[in-house]
Amino acid sequence: MKLRSFLFAATLLCGPLVAPLQAQQAADAIPPEMTTDLSAPVTDPGLRASQLLKSAGRPAKAGQWMISAAHPMAVQAGADVLREGGSAADAMVAAQAMLGLVEPQSSGLGGGGFLVFYDAELGEVFTLDGRETAPLDATPTLFQVDGAPMGFFDAVVGGLSVGVPGTPALMEATHERWGRKPWARLFTPAIRAAQDGFPVSARLAAMVGVDRDRLAVHPVTAAYFLPLGEPVQAGDLLQNPAYATSLEALAESGSAAFYDGQVATAIVSAVQGAAQPGMLSEWDMRNYTVKERDPACSVFLSFEVCGMGPPSSGAVAVGQILGLTEAFYAELDQPLAEVLRTPGKRDDFLTLWGNVGRMAFADRGRYLADSDYVPVPVRGLLDPAYLAQRAALASDMSAMAEVVPGQPQFDHALNWADHEGRALPSTTHISIVDSYGNALSLTSSVENAFGSRVMVGGFLLNNQLTDFSFRSHRDGVPIANRVEPGKRPRSSMSPTIVLQDGKPVLVVGSPGGSRIIGYVAEYILRVLGEGQGVQQAAAAPHAVNRFGTYDFEVGPQGDTIAQALAERGFETRVTGMNSGLHAVMVTPEGLLGAADPRREGIAYGE
Ligand code: GLU
């Protein structure tokens, strides 16, 4: 039996392949070319130590609880709650409220998100859909002019792209169900920081600089990010009293204050009065609901990979990629890290990986959309028999000449046309394990960096409606992800909790537009398949094929690998990849936390 098959069998027979803490430590040296941005402000000595560990390529370690998020101040807010005996739900609310202030380009009250929660008492995974929703007046031609799709940024900037935000309702629903601390307490750190001011991080300052023309379109947004007409600079102390007021209303009266009151009225008038007016109404705001969905779970080796089903394509595509890779992976006679260092074998693996990505994205393009509007064959798409039949198509070690969506078992026999997605530098991910054994994985977003660029109440409104297909039909066939009134746009967000023997072993997710799917699948493969260090895996270079070019991350090997895969028939590209993996791993010896060195976040636990 080959080594991989042996490991696979051993995993099934003996349980965890989870690397013990020591092996994790040894594996956790990251390549010297990865540098960590230390400019994000941290004063707490414990968090500062975590930041230094991260820059040395090492994981954070803890015994009781752990939080990993995209900004140290958000980690601090969450950690303080966890230390006081708060639950993962409480810590998420505190951290998300802070992220809306310090990382406003990525997520906030004006955005939406998906939450995966492992309830330790019930021993079950739950998923909550807090995705933005199209106004009831929206139609399939929302982003068309004279029947032709608008340019992407023409659609993004202004009111047209704004869906009803879901984040405030999602925070509240999560707290109602799994919170232990008083709701209002969770907002204190963010309110204080908004009133006193927070130091602008290098990443935020850089993004404001790049986006200054679009941020200048709406006066309220411009006044905040471009005071006196110039971009805020790293280290500037930025106060946001309007955000403090919005949070105070939320803290006092719950999400009703947001969806049915002064905040709602302000949002609606900002959207309708924006440079490119949208159609969001107070009725739309009042009728927003968080939807509990069935988790979408798939099997990889001895693990159960659970995540967010439709309207996210995340869990289905991650599960397909891992499922389509498993047989080939199990036959490797060396660890993947070594395979990736041996050109011929590396190119075989990356050929398979590229073909698998194309197949998963072909299915995603055709079938994935809001399942309240179109039947989505989730079970059929993750069925091992279907995946085995698809995997057989990728047995040649060259780029498949043609990739088309498969024919999974349908619950309803309907056909849809395809629709592509994009990759963008915003969005955020929080992973938490609390001292009660609960695990929480939340990816939240305002979609594009700075969303629609419309700001109200101290926060940015999302442009999530541009995640719909701008076209409504292809060759006369309706596109599953076309705009429809009250529908939720398809997402790639992949908040994930991986279980083994029914217990969480890995909590992970990432921003990165439709590349999220590849980042998360890769991470699971490296950490759980390979036993690679959690921090090392977060730093590893990416290879993602979304059914367009095969993208390789800029780095020492990027060009060589792209060249080798071009020789296998792929159209390749070497590019920067803005992942933001935040993970917590549960090992028999304790918790390990990782934060992507490409962003400012850290992991911290006690
Ligand atoms: N709007 C994207 C989605 O829901 C996420 C955007 C991003 O990650 O930058 O899939």
Residue pLDDT, tens place only, 399-420: 999 999 998 887 554 566 776 6
Ligand 1 centroid–CA 317 distance in Å is 14
Q: What is the position in ligand 1's atom list of the atom closest to the CA of 514?
A: 10
Q: Please state the pTM of the whole predicted model.
A: 0.93
493 CB within 6 A, ligand 1:
yes
Quote the crossing angle between the two packed helices 45-55 and 72-83, to the nearest 10°. Answer: 130
From ligand 1's centre to the CA of 190, what distance in Å? 24
**What is the per-residue pLDDT for 464?**
97
Phi, psi of 563 (to 5 degrees): -60, -45
pLDDT at 4: 44
Backbone angles phi, psi at 497, to 5 degrees: -125, 120
Catalytic one of 325, 427, 443, 466: 427
Question: φ and ψ at 166, to 5 degrees?
Answer: -115, -15
3-state SS class at 375: coil
pLDDT at position 395 is 85
Ramachandran sector of residue 453 (left: φ over 0; alpha: ψ -120 to 50; beta: rest): left
Query: What is the residue with the minimal CA distance to atom 5 of ligand 1?
Result: 513
Is residue 24 pLDDT above 60, yes or no?
no
Sheet of strand 66-69, all strands in order from the earlier edge strand to the far edge:
291-293, 124-130, 112-119, 439-445, 428-433, 66-69, 602-605
Categorize the per-residue pLDDT at 130 as very low, low, confident or very high, splitting at 50, 70 and 90: very high
- The reported pLDDT for the residue numbered 409 is 82
Q: List, for residues 69-125, the tens digit of each pLDDT value.
A: 999 999 999 999 999 999 999 999 999 999 999 999 999 999 999 999 999 999 999
354 phi, psi to nearest 5 deg: -65, -45
Local confidence band at 23 (pLDDT 50, 70, 90 cut-offs): very low
Which residue has a Cα nearest atom 7 of ligand 1? 513
Tell me what pLDDT residue 20 has: 34
Question: Tokens 């986006």 correspond to what residue?
Answer: 211
pLDDT at 11: 36
Whether the Cβ atoms of residue 50 and residue 528 lie closer than 8 Å to each other: no
Handedness of CA 382, 384, 389, 393 (dihedral sign): positive
Q: How far is 510 from 106, CA to CA, in rounded Å?
A: 12
What mean pLDDT, rounded, does the chain reach? 91
Ligand 1 centroid to residue 338 C-alpha, Å: 33
If you take atom 6 of ligand 1, which residue's CA is the nearest one? 513
Q: Which neighbouring-strand residues pair with 128?
A: 115, 292
Atom number in ligand 1 closest to CA 467:
1
**Per-residue pLDDT tens over the stretch 358-392:** 999 999 999 999 999 999 999 999 999 999 999 99
Facing residues of 587 across strands?
Answer: 590
How many C-beta atoms lie closer than 10 Å to residue 49's C-beta? Answer: 14
Task: Name the most confidently modeled range: 9-13, 401-405, 525-529.
Answer: 525-529
How far is CA 440 from each of CA 116, 474, 596, rounded to the nearest angstrom? Answer: 6, 39, 18
Give the tens place of pLDDT for each residue, 33-66: 333 454 556 778 889 899 889 989 999 999 999 9
Q: What local confidence, expressed as pLDDT, does residue 330 receive?
A: 86
How many CA atoms, within 13 angstroms, populate the side-chain half-sphere of residue 575? 15
Angle at 152 between CA 147 and CA 157, to 5 degrees: 110
Phi/psi of residue 467, each to 5°?
-80, -10
Pocket test for ligand 1, best of 364, 426, 463 (most atoms within 8 A of CB): 426
Terminal Cα distance for the chain, rounded: 42
Q: Are 479 and 297 in contact (CB under 8 A)?
A: no
Residue 447 Cα to ligand 1 midpoint, Å, equals 5
577 lines ligand 1 (CB under 6 A): no
> Tokens for 266?
């302000």
Shortest-distance Cα residue to atom 8 of ligand 1 = 513
Does the CB atom of residue 447 touch ligand 1 within 6 A?
Answer: yes
Burial 321-341 (b: 16+ CB within 10 A, else e): bbbbbbbbbbebeebbeebbe
Instruction: Give Cα 476 to chain centroid, integer Å.
Output: 33
Q: Name the amino acid, one letter, at 544.
A: V
H/E stretch holding 174: helix 167-178
Output the DSSP codes for 415-472.
--B-------S--EEEEEE-TTS-EEEEEEE-SSTTTTS-EETTEEPP-GGGGSBS-S
Residue 466 annotated among the catalytic residues of the structure: no
**Token pair recorded at residue 71:** 């900004």
Ligand 1 within 6 A of CB of 156: no
Alpha carbon distances (Å) from 532 to 9, 309, 519, 529, 538: 19, 27, 15, 8, 10
Query: Coil, strand or helix: which one is 475?
Result: coil
Quick one: tokens of 400? 């498949």
Smallest Cα–Cα separation from 363: which of 456, 480, 264, 269?
480
Ligand 1 atom nearest the C-alpha of 314 is 10
Structure-block tokens of residue 345: 């074998």
Give the position of tokens 């739900």.
89
385: how many CB neighbours lie within 10 A of its CB? 10
